[in-house]
Structure 1
């Protein structure tokens, strides 16, 4: 047996992709996958494709002991070499209480469990680049800021959770991963949800017969990252000695300007360029009206991510991936693939998130 993994957040998109990659790279390994009771049927269906050497555990990170029987926790704790914590409440509109319960209390419970794993070689924690909240300017990888504010409780509670993880870095081998805005596979476009930049596509699709506006005027970057890069980088950093006790921004070192990304998507989707500017304040007022927001397919809460004036440093990431062949492709290279997948699947309601 090569490794024994304990992965939370299955059957989520990243957890599923990560399982597939780990099975391919370490085929003799054992996998324990923690899933919520209400997601068990979906998880079981997924395991028809990824069922080799896998054990599905019904549990809940918000509960003491992860909702697992004591005897089972003790049994698997003796085997686990790698714990990868992905489970989180990713909802930009969620209230503080459920966000805190899942993202903070849940992380505390996972860490408590990992401390009982005597053979642990790595604890991988998936944070987010947006733990920086409203902070502007250069955001470094090696520290966690205390921003003056956050756009939502997701950011705030992920910041609180990462702070707890960092407090345990002297006690266990930890790697913290901070992805940006995750999009589909750069080779196939495949994703399981149309959120983030896909809201932009839904907006442009709705207005395809009209003159297309830019939203606001900004020179900010948008920090998009394809899921295949996230997986490839994570698998390497969670196993190589270089990744121990470090934090990484899983982003492109050359994230596109929002203006450029928007123009590229508009060209691929509608074969036209934006021709006028809609002030951000007016767009915000429009999207505060529920039926307009629903019709356009864009939740108001996403607007702030398209004018975020932060520069995420990736120096540590670039340095530690040097020589591996793992690089994030430029956005202009894979945007046609993303848009094609969106066009082909725009009618699939299971992919919609708003």
Structure 2
């Protein structure tokens, strides 16, 4: 089995890479890494190896290609691209920008164009077998009802360029499913390992936690019942490994009766923001900010608070409901509930590596 993996330097992609290098059925893994203004592709890869004993032990399985997914043929030399199309039979597309504030044109270039080029590549592969596409549960947008795995266009509106471009990119994958065997995996908000708290990148939820830890927030504009759907990365890893094996198996159990190739990796119990505050603030030795219903604030104060929280405001004030029936049929494992121990592990890890500081 020879696999092309994108997004290997990201949180999700690096975890998938660790799974792949230890899989005895995987012979070679091809990475497309882009050079940045600060670091070339080779240096970025060496940093990955240095940070992971698992990857370091299986270094010889991995081959690096310096390319850019947003460019046709990944910007590779003709012989490099041809080599990959002749060798690759599994494609895992985990690369994406998760920035909420990215300009739409830039987000389209990364999330939409990159996915289209992955689909073009998959169609060009001589012995193609399967595409695994990492989408997001938050293509749900502002849809107020339970979002099922079979749902896609439910007339939702989007809060930011991330949601919109991931929705459009998934649409391209869905259109190609008739000709390409594909699996769409939609995780919700990923956090660190449930046992160790280990996380890479400190994105999405973590900057919000940092604002609280820095005592920059005296209030949080949300109702007392506000919640977030949080998934520890080790649960995502478990589900991905099961889906990977299941989707590539030749004899799938007929009794499962799964009618779609889309799977939600979500938590069946949302994490209450008041619990995150109650359990987390004592660990950081800070006073808990107040949860204030934004509708009860004076109009001018509400506008200021809304601007201040900008990208987080919709997530704090709109509960999202997801169905994961397909995932549970295949994996038969529910996500651990985000309780006191997981919050403690998450915050302690952030403090250990210097992302957060405990106040005295």
TM range (shorter): 0.7 to 0.9
Displacement of 1:144 = 0.5
Provide the TM-score with structure 1 as the length reference. Answer: 0.85
1:242-282, CA deviations, whole angstroms, 9 ceiling, x for partnerless residues? 69951111111222233333333334433765556363764
Q: 1:66-145 to 2 correspondence within 5 Å?
A: 66-145=74-153
CA contact (8 A) 1:122 1:238 kept: no
Displacement of 1:197 = 2.8
Q: For 2:81 and 2:321, how far apart are their aligned partners in 1?
A: 41
1:138-186, CA deviations, whole angstroms, 9 ceiling, x for partnerless residues? 1111120243421001111110010110011111211101111111111
- Counting matched residue pairs gives 333
Q: For 2:132 and 2:45, how far apart are their aligned partners in 1?
A: 21
2:255 corresponds in structure 1 to none
Equivalent residue of 1:312, what SS? coil
Q: 1:176-255 to 2 correspondence within 5 Å?
A: 176-207=184-215, 213-241=219-247, 246-255=261-270
CA contact (8 A) 2:137 2:186 kept: yes
Which 5+ residue runs of structure 1 have no aligned equivalent?
Answer: 294-298, 350-354
Task: Tell me if 1:263 matches 2:278.
Answer: yes
Task: Tell me if 1:65 matches 2:73.
Answer: yes
Provide the TM-score with structure 2 as the length reference. Answer: 0.84
Task: Tell me if 1:156 matches 2:175.
Answer: no
1:96-138, CA deviations, whole angstroms, 9 ceiling, x for partnerless residues? 1111111111111100100112322220001111111111121
Q: Which stretch of structure 1 is more off in the superposition, 252-261 or 306-315?
A: 252-261
Q: For 2:279 and 2:147, how far apart are their aligned partners in 1?
A: 26
Pick from 46, 49, 53 the counterpart of residue 47 of structure 1. 49
2:337 corresponds in structure 1 to 330
1:46-100, CA deviations, whole angstroms, 9 ceiling, x for partnerless residues? 2355223110111111111111222222222222121000111221001111111
CA contact (8 A) 2:229 2:320 kept: no
Displacement of 1:220 = 4.1
1:314 corresponds in structure 2 to 324
Q: For 1:262 and 1:147, how far apart are their aligned partners in 2?
A: 34
Displacement of 1:344 = 2.2
Q: For 2:234 and 2:338, how far apart are their aligned partners in 1?
A: 13
Pick from 302, 316, 321 the counterpart of residue 312 of structure 2. 302
